[in-house]
Amino acid sequence: MAEDIIQIDSLEITAIIGILEAERVKEQKILVDIDIYTDIRPAASSRMIEHTVDYSYLAKEAERIIRNGKYLLLETLAEDVCDYCLKQPGVSSVKLSVKKPEALSNAEFVGVRIQRSN
């Protein structure tokens, strides 16, 4: 099987994330990068969206999961989004990065990066 990658980079979502009291009441910006490992050849030859991973749908679902989760930890958020992605047909593995740009005043961002496979 081919290991092609469908990329979603810097998906910006606002959501409740964090353990501090102030983080539990005010949404903050989160940036998500998702690499979906799949075989794009069926879609390339058929030219049909049904034969690939629909990145628009996947981005909307990732946003829904993150916004509804009101997560305490980035680690849990990352695992949940990866789990969802891995349930999609044709997905063999997922690499995901989640960043909180406003977490530390003296850092560009704080984040986690994980990779999971079926």
pTM listed for this prediction: 0.93
Q: Find the mean pLDDT for residues 3-24.
A: 96
Question: If one looks up domain 4-117 in CATH, what number appears?
Answer: 3.30.1130.10
**Digit-coded pLDDT (tens) for 41-92:** 999 999 999 999 999 999 999 999 999 999 999 999 999 999 999 999 999 9
Phi/psi of residue 111, nearest 5 degrees: -165, 180
* Residue 22 half-sphere exposure toward CB, CA atoms < 13 A: 3
pLDDT at 2: 62
Nearest to 5 by CA among 37, 52, 28: 37
Asked whether residue 1 carries a pLDDT value surpassing 60, the answer given is no
pLDDT in tens, 102-114: 999 999 999 999 9
